[in-house]
């Protein structure tokens, strides 16, 4: 029995909503909702008491050193402003993030929210993350470079509710086209290779120090993991960074490969995202009570899922999210 046939049996006033309310969204919408969930988690974390203390402003100010003056000065000014008006400004920040999350989840406002998330993400990337330290020479993809909020913005663009290229082989290309989506992917992961091979990360103790530093303030079990993995990288920092860079390079070209090989590479990307989130970022420091966001790990995973190749046009049944929802209907606000 089709949906239409099924709904035709409903009493009149109930009929209109049967399909709309009962049908699950397609894979693009599910990915939009995942992005909304990360924004909401970000917002909830922003309401923590730590963010209402001077420590938050000081944390922002700490991203300024090493950046060029034109970049650093606004960060310092912004951090000082937040220290002086921390209750008001932090509440505004948290509420904006909450509005973005709710806005993406609520279909009528999805476009406005995605657009706002791009603008907000780029602003926070500068004023809150010091451009992910990419200009300081100390950026490390293992600890979040080139910046979580930059990935928020990238994903928002790729998840724009337009299906101009509805037959694209993966969701990321449905709004911007295959070439543009692949270019975004290639540039992003090539940048990850570049940052990994910077001199700051090519030292014998580089990876060890980065990972062991994350253990501070974490629960015992997580600190044990951090210290254990850090110990494994002790004096092997160069080898570890080179292996990581090779993996990133493989991922960068993965979307140009045939679908089966691309899927294998995307699985590698998902595994690396999990490794980065747990080991390199300690879940974004959330368990310390001072994490401002979940950091880049979950976003890298979401970014990879956007490129999961399907046989058709990114239908849910052909993606790893098929287990979440069994059917497909057009995404929210799609233009088609």
The rounded distance, in Å, linking the Cα atoms of 321 and 30 is 8
> Which residues from 206-265 bind other proteins, rule CB under 8 A?
219, 221-222
Q: Environment class of residue 42 by beta-carbon count within 10 Å: exposed (0-12), middle (13-18) or buried (19+)?
A: buried
Cβ atoms < 10 Å from Cβ of 164: 14
- What's the token pair of residue 303? 């970014």
Count interface residues toward other proteins (CB under 8 A).
49
Measure the CA dihedral 313/318/324/328, to 10°: 40
Total length of the chain:
336
Candidates 47-55, 120-128, 164-172, 311-319 — which segment interacts with other proteins by CB under 8 A? Answer: 47-55
Among 3, 54, 92, 256, binds other proteins (CB under 8 A): 3
C-beta closer to other proteins: residue 41 or 193: 41
Among 114, 142, 181, 332, binds other proteins (CB under 8 A): 332
CA separation, residue 262 to residues 47, 112, 304 (Å): 39, 32, 11
Interface with other proteins, residue 47, by CB under 8 A: yes
C-beta closer to other proteins: residue 37 or 238: 37
- What's the token pair of residue 22? 């009962």
Candidates 43-51, 226-234, 241-249, 266-274 — which segment interacts with other proteins by CB under 8 A? Answer: 43-51
Cis peptide, bond prior to residue 67, ω within 30 of zero: no
C-beta closer to other proteins: residue 37 or 249: 37
Phi and psi at residue 258, in whole multiples of 5°?
-60, 155
> Which residues from 254-283 bind other proteins, rule CB under 8 A?
283
> Which residues from 10-29 bind other proteins, rule CB under 8 A?
10-11, 13-18, 20-22, 25, 29
The rounded distance, in Å, linking the Cα atoms of 241 and 165 is 37
The rounded distance, in Å, linking the Cα atoms of 104 and 84 is 32
User: Smallest distance from the beta carbon of 94 to other proteins, in angstroms?
Assistant: 9
Measure the CA dihedral 52/55/56/62, to 10°: 170
Among 27, 31, 45, 299, binds other proteins (CB under 8 A): 45
DSSP type of residue 166: T
C-beta closer to other proteins: residue 165 or 275: 275
The rounded distance, in Å, linking the Cα atoms of 149 and 103 is 17
- What's the token pair of residue 324? 């979440």
C-beta closer to other proteins: residue 286 or 302: 286
The rounded distance, in Å, linking the Cα atoms of 243 and 105 is 38
Q: What residues have CB less than 8 Å from 129, skipping those under 6 apart? A: 63, 147, 148, 149, 150
User: Smallest distance from the beta carbon of 20 to other proteins, in angstroms?
Assistant: 5
> Which residues from 147-206 bind other proteins, rule CB under 8 A?
none
Query: What angle, rounded to 10 degrees, do the helices at 259-275 and 237-254 form?
Result: 140
User: Smallest distance from the beta carbon of 300 to other proteins, in angstroms?
Assistant: 17
C-beta closer to other proteins: residue 160 or 185: 160
> Which residues from 59-118 bind other proteins, rule CB under 8 A?
87, 98, 101-102, 105-108
C-beta closer to other proteins: residue 57 or 132: 57
Per-position x/- string for 286-305, each x denoting binding to other proteins as judged by CB under 8 A, each - no binding: xxxx----------------
Q: Return residues touching other proteins (CB under 8 A).
A: 1-3, 5-7, 9-11, 13-18, 20-22, 25, 29, 33, 36-37, 40-41, 44-45, 47-50, 52, 87, 98, 101-102, 105-108, 219, 221-222, 283, 286-289, 332
């Amino acid at each position: 029995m089709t949906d239409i046939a099924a709904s035709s049996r409903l009493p009149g006033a109930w009929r209109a909503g049967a399909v709309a309310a009962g049908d699950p969204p397609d894979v693009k919408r599910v990915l939009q909702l995942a992005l909304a969930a990360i924004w909401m988690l970000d917002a909830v974390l922003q309401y923590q008491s730590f963010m209402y203390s001077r420590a938050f402003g000081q944390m922002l100010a700490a991203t300024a050193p090493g950046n060029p003056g034109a970049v650093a000065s606004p960060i310092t000014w912004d951090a000082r402003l937040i220290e002086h008006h921390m209750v008001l400004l932090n509440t505004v920040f948290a509420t904006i993030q909450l509005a973005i999350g709710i806005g993406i989840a609520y279909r009528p406002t999805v476009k406005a929210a995605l657009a706002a998330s791009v603008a907000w993400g780029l602003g926070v990337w500068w004023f809150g993350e010091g451009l992910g330290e990419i200009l300081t020479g100390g950026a490390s993809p293992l600890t979040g470079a080139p910046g979580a909020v930059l990935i928020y913005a990238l994903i928002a663009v790729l998840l724009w509710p337009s299906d101009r290229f509805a037959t694209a082989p993966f969701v990321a290309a449905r709004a911007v086209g295959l070439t543009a989506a692949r270019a975004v992917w290639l540039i992003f992961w090539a940048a990850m290779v570049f940052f990994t091979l910077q001199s700051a990360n090519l030292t014998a103790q580089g990876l060890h120090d980065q990972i062991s530093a994350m253990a501070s303030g974490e629960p015992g079990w997580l600190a044990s993991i951090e210290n254990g993995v850090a110990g494994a990288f002790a004096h092997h920092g160069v080898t570890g960074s080179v292996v990581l860079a090779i993996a990133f390079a493989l991922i960068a070209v993965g979307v140009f490969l045939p679908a089966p090989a691309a899927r294998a590479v995307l699985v590698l990307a998902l595994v690396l995202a999990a490794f980065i989130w747990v080991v390199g970022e300690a879940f974004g420091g959330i368990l310390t009570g001072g994490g401002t966001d979940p950091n880049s790990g979950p976003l890298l995973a979401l970014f990879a899922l956007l490129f999961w190749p399907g046989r058709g046009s990114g239908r849910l049944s052909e993606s790893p999210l098929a287990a979440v929802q069994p059917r497909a209907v057009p995404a929210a606000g799609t233009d088609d």
